[in-house]
Amino acid sequence: MEEIEVKVLEINRKAIEDKLKILGAEFEFELKFHALSLDNNQNDVQASHKTLRLRQEGESTVLTLKEVPGNKKKGSKVKKRIETEISVSSFDTTRTLLEKLGFKRVVREDEKIRRSWKLGDASIVFDRYLGALSHIPEFMEIEAPNEARIMEVATILEIGKSKLKDFSTRHLIKKYAYLAKR
């Protein structure tokens, strides 16, 4: 599945959620996520510009491989990834299996609270990191089937194009590193 999304940083969640309610968006959930990004000792996953993530999403657990497609449109504000996902029955058992396959190195571990809304075919989520990444301010993601729909949702929510970022979690960590030192 192709994931197409943008991040919007330093947002006013309450104001945006009020707009979503007026627009008839459906509140889906608020869950705690716990994620591990894993690699082997040779860094083969990262070296191939992929991410292997094991994530607990409330009561569900998902194993995901994210890949960067080779065709980013010049000037595009969106982040695109090819995601291959499977639901697994146990976070701990899957982690043990991955370790036995050589994926022992934890590249990153994070926890966050996610609030998710649905506006037609678009998802709007608000993420607030906990623990070691709690210095990163709450942010929003807009995910939709294509870039045009993302831009339409951003316009409806009165978010200017200059606020849309194609950031990964690594970009967020780097951008807000100065706050971690406080």
The per-residue DSSP string of 86-116 comes to: EEES-HHHHHHHHHHTT--EEEEEEEEEEEE
This prediction's pTM: 0.93
- pLDDT at position 72 is 62
- Residue type for 97, please? L
Instruction: Write out pLDDT tens, residues 138-168.
Output: 999 999 999 999 999 999 999 999 999 999 9
Torsion of CA 177, 70, 37, 79, to 10 degrees: 50
- pLDDT for residue 75 is more than 80: no
In 3D, which of 91, 105, 119, 116 has the Cα closest to residue 35? 91
Helix/strand/coil for 122: strand
Containing structural domain, residue 91: 2-180
State mean pLDDT over 94-104.
Answer: 97
Residue at 111: amino acid letter: E
> Under a CB-based contact definition with an 8 Å cutoff, are residues 80 and 2 in contact?
yes
Query: Which 3 state secondary structure label does DSSP give 129?
Result: strand
Residues 66-99 as b/e (b if ≥16 CB within 10 A, e otherwise) read beeeeeeeeeebbbbbeeeeeeeeebeebbeebe
Nearest to 126, CA basis, from 17, 34, 21, 51: 17
Q: Convert the pLDDT of each residue in 106-147 to its tens digit.
A: 999 999 999 999 999 999 999 999 999 999 999 999 999 999
In angstroms, the Cα distances linking 141 to 6, 18, 175 are 6, 16, 16
Q: How many domains does the chain have?
A: 1
**What Cα–Cα distance (Å) separates residue 129 from each residue in 35, 160, 167?**
11, 24, 15
Measured CA distances, 144 to 24, 101, 159 (Å): 17, 34, 16
> Can you give the CATH number for the domain in which 158 is found?
2.40.320.10
| pLDDT score at 173 | 92
